[in-house]
Amino acid sequence: MRGLHSAMARETKRIAINTGGGDAPGLNAVIGAVVRAALHRGWEVLGIRDGYAGLLDTSKIVQLGRREVRGIAHLGGTILGTSSSGNPFEFPISAARGATEVSDRSDEVVQNFKRLGLDALIAIGGDGSMRIAHDLARKGVPIVGIPKTIDNDLNGTVTTFGFDTAVTVATEAVDRLHSTAEAHRRVFTVEVMGRYAGWIALHAGIAGGADAILIPEIPFDLECVCRKISDREAHGRHFSIVVVAEGARPIGGEMVTKGPAEAGREVTLGGIAEQLTHQIHAETGKETRSVVLGHLQRGGRPTARDRLIAQRFGAAAIRVVARGESSVMVALDPPEIRTVPLEEATSRMKSVPLDGDTIATAREIGICMGDE
């Protein structure tokens, strides 16, 4: 086994790495780990700037060595840049905002991959990027995915990196809002990200001691939320905090969006917290304010946990390439990192399980989940 390992380690490879979709804290830690683990085996690493779009314009490709990744594990953002609109299968024809025409440029990506003499692509991304990775893998590109997203909605992995930082930021915000809410006897609605999944809202809401948590998986009844606020009032608790996921919606209602989606992009969610403030005020008479945490949840330093998972994912991805596996995503399956086929990772969204113990915990400690 040892002999085999060192034989593989000696085999020189040329790999590339890109980061697609929205950024997430821990991206630089992954990039650093991939580069170091690859150099450790004597391989060469190319960084592709600006997501998949960088594979359509080879001037965006840079050599990554120790110098480029020195001292970056604790930094937010990504030294490679990223893009949410670079899907080569649906590439926007015009760069103008609001453009709707797209073209399939995936063959160019495959050609450039071959022309660069690459052995594998390490694709760091969320559900959208993993779907692109899966489609490119079907065209013969050897790809290993690394699960990134603050939303934690990728199937096949217990967690993605970036999620812990987002939950930490949101929890701290809820903590801080408690004192001002209490001082003014107000209700606060706090909108957190998470797209169509309620992971951030649920975890930060419980950790921060929210009174109600509204998530996309449980369409809410405004009356239940207002009853919770009024009950607290009746018991001398003159303030309340409602943590609401951006994708939450009332029973029979729609998610709140910021206009139609642009070409090759997901629709932008947002506005539910503000909408709720008016409704809660109208129903309860309580002065109500909203706070939207938005991209604060994605910026800045990754937590220690995210840095660790990110680096474990990065080193594991290199091990996967070394043993010749592809069309897979590395995944956390505690205590180990394993691989799941890209097919499985992209087969469905990982929603919050309604019969799981975290939802049960919320209910049992008196948090209103919007439905009872």
The 3-state DSSP class for residue 175 equals: helix
Which structure tokens are listed for 320? 């996967």
Query: Taking CB under 6 A as the rule, does residue 216 contact ligand F6P?
Result: no
| CA 183 to chain CA mean position, Å | 34
Q: Which of 155, 372, 162, 367 is nearest to 244 (CA)?
A: 367
* Options 148-156, 208-216, 301-309, 319-327: segment touching ligand F6P (CB under 6 A): 148-156
Neighbour count for residue 57 (Cβ, 10 Å)? 13
The 3-state DSSP class for residue 37 equals: helix
* Options 8-16, 60-68, 144-152, 313-321: segment touching ligand F6P (CB under 6 A): 144-152
In order of 14, 46, 219, 257, 277, the CA distances from 229 in angstroms are 59, 54, 18, 26, 12
Q: At its nearest, how many Å lie between ligand F6P and the CB of residue 358?
A: 19
Query: Taking CB under 6 A as the rule, does residue 198 contact ligand F6P?
Result: no
Residue position matching structure tokens 């989940």: 369
Q: At its nearest, how many Å lie between ligand F6P and the CB of residue 150?
A: 5
* Options 45-53, 145-153, 323-331, 345-353: segment touching ligand F6P (CB under 6 A): 145-153
The 3-state DSSP class for residue 341 equals: strand
DSSP string covering 69-90? HTT-TT-SS-TT---SS--GGG
Q: At its nearest, how many Å lie between ligand F6P and the CB of residue 171?
A: 16
In order of 19, 32, 67, 147, the CA distances from 39 in angstroms are 19, 11, 12, 22
- 46-105 residues near ligand F6P, rule: CB under 6 A: 84
Select 254 or 336, whichever has its Cβ closest to ligand F6P: 254
Neighbour count for residue 236 (Cβ, 10 Å)? 6
Select 197 or 242, whichever has its Cβ closest to ligand F6P: 197
In order of 152, 235, 277, the CA distances from 281 in angstroms are 32, 19, 6
**Element (DSSP H or E) covering residue 291:** strand 288-292
* Options 9-17, 55-63, 188-196, 329-337: segment touching ligand F6P (CB under 6 A): 188-196
- 15-54 residues near ligand F6P, rule: CB under 6 A: 22
Of 18, 82, 112, 149, the residue at the interface with ligand F6P (CB under 6 A) is: 149
Select 151 or 217, whichever has its Cβ closest to ligand F6P: 151
Which structure tokens are listed for 70? 């020195």
Query: Taking CB under 6 A as the rule, does residue 195 contact ligand F6P?
Result: yes
Across the beta sheet with 240-245, what order do the strands follow?
A: 212-214, 240-245, 187-192, 288-292
Select 25 or 194, whichever has its Cβ closest to ligand F6P: 194
Q: At its nearest, how many Å lie between ligand F6P and the CB of residue 300?
A: 14
Select 191 or 211, whichever has its Cβ closest to ligand F6P: 191
Query: Taking CB under 6 A as the rule, does residue 129 contact ligand F6P?
Result: no
Of 37, 121, 204, 269, the residue at the interface with ligand F6P (CB under 6 A) is: 269
Which DSSP category does 178 fall into? H
Residue position matching structure tokens 């205590």: 335
* Options 69-77, 146-154, 222-230, 273-281: segment touching ligand F6P (CB under 6 A): 146-154
Of residues 23, 50, 151, 153, which has the active-site annotation?
151
Annotation marks residue 357 as catalytic? no
Which residues of this chain interact with ligand F6P, rule CB under 6 A?
22, 84, 126, 149-151, 193-195, 246, 268-269, 298
Residues tagged active-site: 151
